[in-house]
Structure 1
Amino acid sequence: MKKNMSIWLAIAIGLVLLLSACGEKSQEDVMGKLSDNLEDMKGYKATAEMKMDTGNENEVFNIDILHKKDDLYRVQLTTDKKDKESQVILKNKEGVFVLTPALNKSFKFQSEWPENGSQPYLYQSLLNDIEKDEDAVFSSTEEYYVFQTKTNYQSNNNLPYQEIYFDKNTYTPVHVKVLDKDKKAVVEVKFTSFEMDPEFKKDAFEIEKNMTSSTSTDVPVTTDSTNSFSVMFPLNTAGAVLAEQIETDLEDGGTRVIMTFEGEKDFTLVEEQINVEQTLASPQMVDGEIVNLGFAVGAISENSIEWHVNGTDFLLASDELTREELIEVATSVQGQEIK
C-alpha cells in the first residue's frame, strides 16, 4: 500500500514539474505580461473583422485600428456590402469625432471615449475590463490564454459578458466574443493582424486627412453616395404601430419623411435624403455618446439616436423608450421599404 502511494506521489510530482517546465502561467502572470505589453509599446496598428448579429441578419465590418500613446485613436469601420461605406471614430487633441467621409458628415462628442465603456477591438479596453472584474475566469488552451469577464456597455445592458482570447506567444488579442444574457455570442471580433510600435503618418489622426483621403489603408476610403432614396421601416417597433407618415420635398432636391408610431410607447422616426454637396465638413456638436448600431456608428443621447447610412440621415426620438429600446428599434431599421 505504501509502495503504491509512493508511486502515485511520484507521478503527481512529475506532472507538476512537467507543467512547470512547459511554462504554464497563472492568471496573474498573464495579466502582468499583458499590462507590460501595453505599458512598453508606443502604439499599435491592428486589423480585424467584426460580425454583429442584429436579430435580422449578420452585419460584418472590416476594422482598421490605430493607437498612438498620448491618447490618439483612429478606428475605421467599413461594411462588407457593395457600397463599402466607411465611418471613422477619431480621437485626437481636439476631441472625439465620428466621421462619415462619403457624406462629408462629422459629429463631435464631449466624451471620455474609449475609457467610458467596453470597446471589443481596443487592446487597452479589453485589459481594463479584465482588471475591473474581480470574478474574471481564466483558462488556457494549447494556443490561447482565455478570459471570461463582465462588460461595461453603458448604453446597452443586453451584452453583459465577453470571452477574450490572447495569443500565447505574442500576448496580443486574437478573438473576442461579446455575449448576451444567455451567453450567446452577439458580437464577434477576429483580429487578422496586430503590429506593436508601428510607424504612423504625421497626419494619421487629423480630421481633414481622414475626411478626404482614399489612397491608403491608413485612412478611410471615400465612397460615392448616389444611392436612390428608400424609406426604411423598423422591424422592431416596441409594440407601437405606424400612425402617420408625412413626406416632404426639400429645397435642395432631397426628401424628408417623418413617421409617427403610437402604442404602449410612442416614438418618431425621421429620415432625410442627404445632398452631399451641401453638407458641412465642420463637426456637428453632439450631447451624447457613441453607439454602434451594427450597420452604422451613431450618437445616442437621453431621448434620441441619430445616424447616417447610404446617403440618408436618420433620427429616432422618444420620451418613452428606454436607451436599450431606442437601440433595439434603431438597429431594426434596415432594408424594409414602406409601400
Structure 2
Amino acid sequence: MRKIFLLVFVCVITAVVMTACGEKSQEEVVQDLDKKLQDMDGYKGEATMTLETGEEPRTYDVDIWHMQNEKNKYYKVHLKNDNEEQNQMIIRNDDGVFVLTPALNKSFRFQSDWPNNNSQVYLYESLISDILMDAERTFAIHEGTYVFETKTNYQNKNLHHQEIVLDSKSLEPKTVKIYDADYKLLVSVEFTEFDENASFDDNDFDTDKNMTAAAMEEDVPVSTEDDENNEEENAAQENFEAVYPSYQPQGSTLNDKEETMTENGPKVVLSYSGDQSFTIVQQVETAEEAAASVNVGNGQPVDLGFTVAAQAENSLTWHYNGVEYFIASHDLSQDEMTAIARSMNETSENIK
C-alpha cells in the first residue's frame, strides 16, 4: 500500500513539474514556427552534411547565407568537400539563380524559382515549411529539443521522409535526417552554427565577386599554360574512363559508343535508342582562363547528391571528378534524366 502511495505521489509531482516548466503543445510550437517564418529576414548558418547513398559516406561542409527584403530573397550556399576538387556554390540574387564551380571558372545561370520549388535540407525556412505543410507530421519533446517527422518534397523521390530537430528555446535547427521508405538513412545534416541576427553587405550575393573570392581560395590557375595545371589535365586525360548508367528507362538500349580525341582530351558519346532515346556525352573538363557563364534560361539547379547539376528543358549538365557530363533527350522527363545521372555515381561497375 505504501509503495502504491509513493508511486502515485511521484506521478503527481512529475505532472506538476512538467506543468510548471511550461512545455508547449505541438499546436503552440507550430504557431511559433509560422510566426518565425513570417518575420524572418535572414540568417547565416554552418552545417555538416553527410550522404549515405554511395559505397562510402561522403561529407560536405555547407555555409548558408540568406537575406530577404521587400525586393527579393537572396541566397548563397557554399558546398565544400576536402576530397573533392570542385566545390560548388549556389547563389540567388536580382540577376537570377547561379551554380558556380570556381575551380573551373564556370557558372550556370537560370531564371528559376529555386529554392521554392522543392524541399532543401540545409535551408531553415524550407524545413519550417515542410513542418507547416504536413498535417500528418509527428511531434515529440526530447532533451531540450522539439522533434518533428514529416513528409518531404525533394527532387530525389527516394528521400521519403525526414526527422527535423529544433532547439526548444530558440527554434533554431539542430539536425535533419532523411530516410527512404524503408527507414534507411540517406542524408544527415548537423547545424554547427546558426545566427539569425547576421548582417550582410551589397557584395555578399554578387556572383562575380563570389566567383573571384572562391577561385582565389581554391588557387585556380590564372593561365591554362601553367605547368601545374597542365600536369593535372594530363593526369585527368590518362585516367579518363567512360562511365555507364546503372539505371536506364525500360526499353532503352545502348546502340552506339563513339570515342574521339579533342584538343582538350578524350570524349565519349553514348547513344541509347528505344522509346525513350537519349545521348550521354563525357569529356575531360578544363578550367577557363576567364570566368565563363552559361545561360540555361528556364532551368534549375538539381541536387544529384554528389554534385549540383544544371537542368535545362531537354538536357542535364554536371561536373564530377575532372569530367564534364551531359545528357540530352527529347523523350525523357526531367526526373528520368536526373535518375540516370544519379546512377552514374554508384560503384566501379559503372566504369567500362
Does 1:277 find its partner at 2:288?
yes
Superposition map of 1:1-339 within 5 A: 13-70=12-69, 71-81=73-83, 83=85, 85-153=86-154, 155-214=155-214, 221=218, 223=220, 226-227=232-233, 228-229=236-237, 230-238=240-248, 242-250=254-262, 252-261=263-272, 266-277=277-288, 281-301=292-312, 303-334=314-345, 336=348, 338=351
> 1:234, 1:329 within 8 Å by CA — same for their partners in 2?
no
Q: Distance in 2 between matches of 1:20 and 1:232?
A: 64
Aligned residue pair count: 332
Deviations 1:296-339 (A, max 9, x none): 10123454321123443211234555544432321232375855
CA-CA distance at 1:75 after TM superposition: 0.2
| Stretches of structure 2 lacking an aligned partner (at least 5 in a row) | 222-228
CA-CA distance at 1:114 after TM superposition: 1.1
Q: 1:282 to 1:330 in 2, by over 3 A?
A: closer
TM-score (norm 2): 0.82
Identify the residue that residue 224 of structure 2 maps to in structure 1.
none
Which has more helix, going by share of residues?
2
CA-CA distance at 1:60 after TM superposition: 2.0
CA-CA distance at 1:144 after TM superposition: 1.6
Q: Which moved more, 1:103-112 or 1:37-46?
A: 37-46
CA-CA distance at 1:213 after TM superposition: 0.7
Q: Distance in 2 between matches of 1:79 and 1:286?
A: 29
CA-CA distance at 1:20 after TM superposition: 1.2
TM-score (norm 1): 0.85
Q: Distance in 2 between matches of 1:244 and 1:215?
A: 38
Q: 1:130 to 1:221 in 2, by over 3 A?
A: farther
Q: Supply the AA of the counterpart residue of 1:50.
A: M
| Stretches of structure 1 lacking an aligned partner (at least 5 in a row) | none
Q: Distance in 2 between matches of 1:132 and 1:312?
A: 39
- Matched-pair identity in %: 39
Q: Distance in 1 between matches of 2:273 and 2:314?
A: 16
Q: Distance in 2 between matches of 1:8 and 1:202?
A: 63
Q: Supply the AA of the counterpart residue of 2:163.
A: E
Q: Distance in 2 between matches of 1:210 and 1:298?
A: 19
Equivalent position SS for 2:30 = helix
Q: Distance in 2 between matches of 1:55 and 1:25?
A: 40
Equivalent position SS for 1:276 = coil
Q: Supply the AA of the counterpart residue of 2:293.
A: S
Q: Supply the AA of the counterpart residue of 1:236.
A: S
Q: Which moved more, 1:125-134 or 1:169-178?
A: 169-178
Q: 1:39 to 1:287 in 2, by over 3 A?
A: closer
Equivalent position SS for 2:264 = coil
Equivalent position SS for 1:233 = coil
Deviations 1:85-144 (A, max 9, x none): 211110111111111111121111121111111001001000111111111111110132
Q: Distance in 1 between matches of 2:100 and 2:119?
A: 20
Q: Which moved more, 1:165-174 or 1:88-97?
A: 165-174
Q: Supply the AA of the counterpart residue of 1:130.
A: I
Q: 1:56 to 1:106 in 2, by over 3 A?
A: same
CA-CA distance at 1:263 after TM superposition: 6.8
> 1:156, 1:323 within 8 Å by CA — same for their partners in 2?
no
CA-CA distance at 1:36 after TM superposition: 3.9
CA-CA distance at 1:14 after TM superposition: 4.0
Q: Distance in 1 between matches of 2:334 and 2:220?
A: 31
Q: Distance in 2 between matches of 1:278 and 1:221?
A: 15
Q: Distance in 1 between matches of 2:59 and 2:156?
A: 19
Q: Supply the AA of the counterpart residue of 1:245.
A: K
> 2:105, 2:215 within 8 Å by CA — same for their partners in 1?
no
Q: Distance in 1 between matches of 2:201 and 2:219?
A: 18
Q: Distance in 2 between matches of 1:242 and 1:142?
A: 54
Q: 1:322 to 1:58 in 2, by over 3 A?
A: farther
> 1:101, 1:222 within 8 Å by CA — same for their partners in 2?
no
> 1:160, 1:181 within 8 Å by CA — same for their partners in 2?
yes
- The alignment's C-alpha RMSD in Å is 3.1
CA-CA distance at 1:9 after TM superposition: 7.8
> 2:245, 2:341 within 8 Å by CA — same for their partners in 1?
no
Q: Distance in 2 between matches of 1:58 and 1:195?
A: 28
